[in-house]
Each structure stands twice: as structure tokens, then as C-alpha cells.
Amino acid sequence: MAFAKPGKYASKLIDKKVLVLGGTSGLGFAVAEAAWEFGAKVTISGSRQPKVDHKLSEMKSNNPAGDVSKLQGFACDLGNKETLEGNLKSLFDQATDSGTTKLDHIVFSAGDAPPMKPLAEVDVAYLHAAGLVRLAAPFIIGKLCAAHGYLKSSASSSITFTSGVSESKPGAGQSSMLAAFGGIEVFTRGLAVDLAPVRVNCVAPGGVDTELSQAFGGESLLNHFRERSTTKTVGKPEDVAEAYLYSMRDQFVTGTVIESNGGGLLV
């Protein structure tokens, strides 16, 4: 019995080369799984190779029918300012076979959990450290794409960054962290102009139950988001991943912040 070929909508990601930074946990892992399920050639990256290998095995186990030849992963440490650019360049070289092939999509969902500091205790060193992964790394990604052409120069190609609901609706005590990395949404719009016709967007999730949210505040934080939503729920990675898929597949969306927050801006 012959199986029907995917239609024009389901086939949009087939054989597209997708690099997911932060692809070993939370939203990034869900995006990687979804893109692979839709036929993309997926490269995931995380800070440690053993975890990358473990997550590749998990993806294969979750989808036994998947084409394992379309799946690979490499470690890339984003937490050291002295090696950040070199590490990212090495990752892009690995993902593109030293530039002999080009990426179609880049998704950046990597994050860390810098300690919350009262505003009165914040200094410049804290701002630099807190913004390294979430703001400096995206900037270097844009620079490398501009300088080395790792991404196809087409409206069919995209970069999708990640921000959060706090950028639009900050809570008490968050100003120091927002100063460190809250500029990602503005940077998204600027990069969409500089890298055109490549599309650049940003997904702004609300409270999502991930490893990172557990590190930041666990159930108390998730309950905070749950009560401050219209759905009275928190997001699941497999649901919010749809926002990233939309960013990749809609060739007319660029310079846009895509929100998925359960109505968190309405309450």
C-alpha cells in the first residue's frame, strides 16, 4: 500500500537544514523534535556533548520511524565570553560541513539562569555576565551569518530568537535582568533589516514548564504564571514549539515578535 506524499503545507520543512541552539532541553528540544518530524535535517546544540548525545537518542526513541540520517548534534559552550565567538563559528562550520552547505533556519532558545539581584546591588559586571548567553550570543550569530554566509540568502530562510513575556509585562525586581538581555526584541527588528531578505523573528513565551523555569523558581513561578493567565494554565514545550514552526514556514513574517502566553498580557 503506497502512502500519500505530504501536501504543500506539511512538506514545507522537508529536507530543510535547521540548527537549534539550546536544542537539548525545553523549547529547543521540542522545536527540534517537531522540525525533524516534519522531515527537516536537524542539528541540535547544547553546552555538553554527553547531553547532546543523550537527547539525540531520546529523539530517535520518541520517533522510531524518523530518518536518523537527518539528525546530528554538537556541543557549543556559550557561557565563556572569551571563547563565545570561536565556539559559535566552530558549531556553524560543523552544521554546514565547513560552509559547503548552507542552513535554511536557525532557532535560538538557549538560556541560563543568572541569579536575581536587587537593583541596588547590580553592577556592570553583572549586566555583562547576565546578558552573555541571551543577548551577546544572538548578536554573534547575526554577525557570523553576515560575515560567512552560513544561511541561505532568501526569504525562505529564517532566524528565530527567544525572549519572554517579561519584556512586555515586567514583574517587580526584574529590571536588572531586563537591562541585561531585554534588548533581544529590538535587536530582532534591526537584524531583520540588516540580513534581508533572510527573515528574523522572535518568540516571546509566557510561563512554560521547562527545565529552565524549574531552575528559576519551580512550581511557585509556574503557579504565578498560571494565575496570571486567562487559560489558567502554563505552556507545554510541544505547544509553544508551534510558534517557532510558524516563524520558519511563513515566508512573509519578519521583524516580528510572536507571542504565546496563555493570555498573560491580558490579566
Q: Does residue 149 form part of some domain?
A: yes
How far apart are the C-alpha atoms of 12 and 217, rounded to whole Å? 37
Phi, psi angles (nearest 5°) of residue 181: -140, 15
Phi, psi angles (nearest 5°) of residue 204: -115, 90
Is the model's pLDDT at 1 over the cut of 60?
no
Cis peptide upstream of residue 118 (ω within 30 degrees of 0): no
Is the model's pLDDT at 9 over the cut of 60?
yes
Q: Does residue 265 form part of some domain?
A: no
Q: Does residue 12 form part of some domain?
A: no
| Three-state SS annotation for the chain | CCCCCCCCCCCCCCCCEEEEECCCCHHHHHHHHHHHHCCCEEEEEECCHHHHHHHHHHHHHHCCCCCHHHEEEEECCCCCCCCHHHHHHHHHHHHCCCCCCCECEEEECCCCCCCCCCHHHCCHHHHHHHCHHHHHHHHHHHHHHHHHCCECCCCCCEEEEECCHHHCCCCCCCHHHHHHHCCHHHHHHHHHHHCCCCEEEEEEECCECCHHHHHHCHHHHHHHHHHCCCCCCCECHHHHHHHHHHHHHCCCCCCCEEEECCCCCCC
C-alpha cell belonging to residue 29: 528540544
Domain residue limits at 107? 17-260
Of 10-19, 32-41, 180-189, the poorest mean pLDDT is in 180-189
Q: What is the pLDDT of residues 134-166, one digit of tens each?
A: 999 999 999 999 999 999 999 999 999 999 888
Q: Does residue 1 form part of some domain?
A: no
Is the model's pLDDT at 180 over the cut of 80?
no
Q: What percent of the chain has pLDDT over 90?
A: 74
> pLDDT-derived band of residue 211, with 50, 70 and 90 as boundaries?
confident
Q: Does residue 4 form part of some domain?
A: no
Q: What percent of the chain has pLDDT over 70?
A: 98
Question: Which pLDDT does position 4 carry in this prediction?
Answer: 66
Q: Does residue 266 form part of some domain?
A: no
Is the model's pLDDT at 112 over the cut of 90?
no
Q: Does residue 253 form part of some domain?
A: yes
How far apart are the C-alpha atoms of 145 and 135, rounded to whole Å? 16
User: Average pLDDT for residues 182-207, to the nearest whole number?
Assistant: 95
pTM exceeds cut of 0.85 = yes
What is the domain count for the chain?
Answer: 1
CATH number at residue 143: 3.40.50.720
Q: Does residue 197 form part of some domain?
A: yes
Of 18-27, 40-49, 51-60, 179-188, the poorest mean pLDDT is in 179-188
Is the model's pLDDT at 217 over the cut of 80?
no
